[in-house]
Chains A and B, each alone.
Chain A
Amino acid sequence: MQRRTFLKLIGSAGLGAALPAATAKAAGNKAFTGYPDAMGVLFDATKCIGCRKCEAACNEVNELPKPEKPFDDLSVMNAKRRTDAKTYTVVNKFVPVDGRPPVFAKTQCNHCQEPACASACFVKAFTKTPEGAVVYDASVCVGCRYCMVACPFSVPAYEYDEPLTPRVMKCTMCHPRILEGKLPGCVEICPKQALLFGKRSDLIKTAWERIGNEPGRYLPHVYGEKEMGGTNWLYISGAPFQQIGMREDLGNTPAPELTSGALAAVPVVVGLWPVLLTGIYAVSKRKDRVAKEEREAAVAEAVTAAKEKAAAKLADELKKAEAAGKRLADAEARKAVEAYKQELEEKAKAAAAAADESGDESADEKKE
């Protein structure tokens, strides 16, 4: 009965715990290559002039709070900035080669094909839409900020100053606008079309065409084509990405794959541990029982031996006493013999009790 309850409990726990491994998509030999018609944006660093119009447009269409310095103040680009709770996108200025013109790089959510934030979120607040955008649902967010830890591009920001309803803030690729058939705000405003909107697959083709047509102008690398399993925001540049504030050491492994091994271990633990532990318990209990039985047998043997010995002695003594009794007065003799017999019996009892006590340590199990 106990064991059955136990197995049932473990079974249900195992089912619950096995779920994540089933959805992690890591096992099996299928690679997730993204939604086929997902849209994206190609950023061409050789075209960007650093006018911050995209920042202004982003601020406007997302109805974000006005920044301290206006968007036409280009001096803010002298310091490196990152996205924050009031800014979905920033353009940073870099001077990869001293004396050459600066290169600008735009930062915003890269909309990974297999987003780390979505994989990390324990309330499914992030969704990778078929349109390509990774969108966030504040209505379930607990505010654990694991998405921020997980994001390899350090994009999501948090409303730390919001006491009651803090949200994670990040670019949405203007998902609502895309659904309306409009371009993302930043893309629409860009005077140089340094941001090109389109199907991710088309953008990759365009990117490689540009690289192929003008090899001296671009480095042969489309950032985001493979990084972290691929992103829907893509970049091409003439300067090494490392020199324009983008990490080139992220690898090509999609984030969910990094944790799939650990998640896959869950059913193993849930399935094997109880069996193993019950086994250990049974073995240790059996060991105790065997030891106890052996002890009990030994004690019983000792007791019997003692009893036999006592009985033999008693008989012997009795014989002697009887012989003596013949010489003694009847009443006197009987009394003395009785007393002696009692004494011997007590001795035997004590010996048996001592033996019992020594073998009694495992008494606990009896109660289990």
Chain B
Amino acid sequence: MSHSTQTNKGGMSPLMVVGGIFLLLGLWLTFQRFYGGLGAVTNLDDNNPWGIWIGFDLLCGVALAAGGYTTSAACYIFGMKRFHGAVRPAILTAFLGYALVVFALHYDVGRPWRLPYPIFVSPGTTSLLFEVGLCVFLYLTVLFIEYSPVALEWLGQKRLRNAVHKLTLVLTIFGVVLSTLHQSSLGALFLIAPSKLHPLWYSSYLPLFFFVSSMFAGMSMVIFEGTISHKNFHDKMDEDHLSASENVVLGFAKASCVVMCGYLALKLFGLAMDDNWHYLGTGWGAWFLFELLGFVALPALLYGIGAREKNVKLIRWTAALSVLGIVLNRFNISLVAFNYHLPASERYFPSWQEIGISIFVVTVGVFAFRFIVTRMPIFYEHPDYKESHH
């Protein structure tokens, strides 16, 4: 199999070296974290119990891993077969994304070995975090099963693979249900703290905002991830994937544009419902508009133009902008506009160690992704199963 040979034969690329350094650093920080406690490596305090490990690793991680459910739903439920070649990379990204979210949570929570407690020992069903936990747990299982045919093909487990493959539709529907629930409840986590989150960001529609934004976050991430994969793993891609990727870029651009417009309308509706217009004139309002206009309205327009003009390059840049926008939005809600009422001296800014761990987690993800796509049939179809599609 010519596909499975290493791309860069012999020697280490500079990127690999940097990645390696990040991994080593991460291991050192891991030791510090579990030897000295959270206080040893984080800037968290009693007023700011959640930092970037929640704001970035959890909120952004989950939002950006939404490509899994959007792509598979588009392909299997809405019958857009032309996206078929993009499903596997999206599922893989999602699976790794969620796995990393859970991995990163081990750093953030005080007693990570108790992470199964909410589901198996003492379920606190009134908590939205319980809903998040349960859904993420179930969805990670679903994603694992959805992903497993890839590994089974690689391992040559034909009968098992075919059995799992039969579950595709059920798993897809299950995935959409679970994603709807936990994407929205991540936003709903903040519903309990209206006195701490700035009114421009607080809304009883927070769950809706999170869910709707997760759709274009996922789609943008699929485009963004595709762009990077194209640069690095072009030789791994077969006809089906390449043609699908073009379809995906244009199709998702159009869909993202529509969803973003809907999201904008919802945001305006939220402003109107709480009559928060007057805050727009403040410094917070400028920042809010910066987020909304620069990272939602602008990408929506650019996606629209890109889709109409079939300008793939523009769409790819727009995807990067949208991904950045999601990160900004999640940061704003969990960190920037959270505790807005506190004096500057009591506000949170991450320590370098926190940033280091987050980079470490992303690096682990990149390495895992690389390991899998260079070995398993992600960007191409396994020759033994070609007939099962055509």
Contacts and interface: CB of A to CB of B under 8 A. Distances in A.
Nearest to A142: B114
Interface in A34-90: 82-85
A19 interface: yes
B196 to A, nearest CB: 7
A166 B38 contact: yes
Given A146-B49, A150-B192, 20 more contacts: A10-B174, A17-B134, A116-B192, A119-B127, A120-B192, A140-B122, A143-B110, A144-B109, A146-B129, A148-B46, A152-B195, A158-B44, A161-B36, A250-B195, A259-B191, A262-B207, A280-B78, A281-B78, A284-B77, A364-B390
Interface of A: 2, 5-6, 9-10, 13, 16-17, 19-20, 23-24, 82-85, 116, 118-125, 140-146, 148-150, 152, 154, 156-166, 247, 249-251, 255-256, 258-259, 261-263, 265-266, 269-270, 273-274, 277-278, 280-281, 284-285, 287-288, 361, 363-364, 367-368
B173 A142 contact: no
Given A9-B170, A277-B176, A149 B50 contact: yes
A288 B169 CA distance: 16
A165 to B, nearest CB: 7
Contact of A163 (B36, B76, B114, B390): B36
Given A165-B111, A281-B77, A122 B185 contact: no
B86 interface: no
B389 interface: yes
Contact of B184 (A82, A164, A166, A265): A265
Contacts of B121: 123, 140
5 contacts: A23-B126, A123-B124, A149-B196, A157-B46, A270-B177
Interface in B25-80: 34-40, 42, 44-47, 49-50, 73, 76-79
B193 interface: yes
Q: Is the interface of A mostly helix, strand, loop or mixed?
A: helix
Interface string B193-225: 111100000001001000000000000000000
Contact of B125 (A23, A249, A270, A361): A23
Contacts of B78: 280-281, 284
Q: Is the interface of B mostly helix, strand, loop or mixed?
A: helix
Given A158-B110, A251-B194, A5 B79 contact: no
Q: For chain B, give the interface size range.
A: 35 or more
B181 interface: yes
Contacts of B193: 116, 149-150, 152
B103 interface: no
Given A120-B127, A121-B124, A141-B111, A160 B117 contact: no
B195 A249 contact: yes
B128 interface: yes
Given A2-B170, A273-B180, A284-B77, A158 B133 contact: no
Interface in B374-390: 388-390
B189 interface: yes
Contact of A122 (B39, B46, B129, B194): B129
A158 B49 contact: yes
A368 B50 CA distance: 46
Contacts of A121: 124, 127
B177 A13 contact: yes
Nearest to B82: A361
A180 B109 CA distance: 35
A22 B230 CA distance: 49
A163 B35 contact: yes
B174 A9 contact: yes
B308 interface: no
A258 B127 contact: no
B87 to A, nearest CB: 13
Given A9-B170, A19-B125, A122-B133, A140 B77 contact: no
Contact of A281 (B42, B50, B79): B79
A123 B115 CA distance: 10
B356 interface: no
B40 A161 contact: yes
A253 to B, nearest CB: 8
B130 interface: yes
A157 B49 CA distance: 9
Contacts of A364: 81, 389-390
B111 A166 contact: yes
B174 A141 contact: no
A17 B131 contact: yes
B109 A124 contact: no
A333 to B, nearest CB: 46
Contact of A263 (B131, B138, B389): B131
A160 B39 contact: yes
Contacts of A263: 126, 128, 131, 188
A363 B387 CA distance: 11
Contact of B180 (A116, A249, A261, A269): A269
Contacts of A262: 128, 184-185, 188, 191, 207
A367 B166 CA distance: 9
B318 to A, nearest CB: 27
B350 interface: no
A98 to B, nearest CB: 20
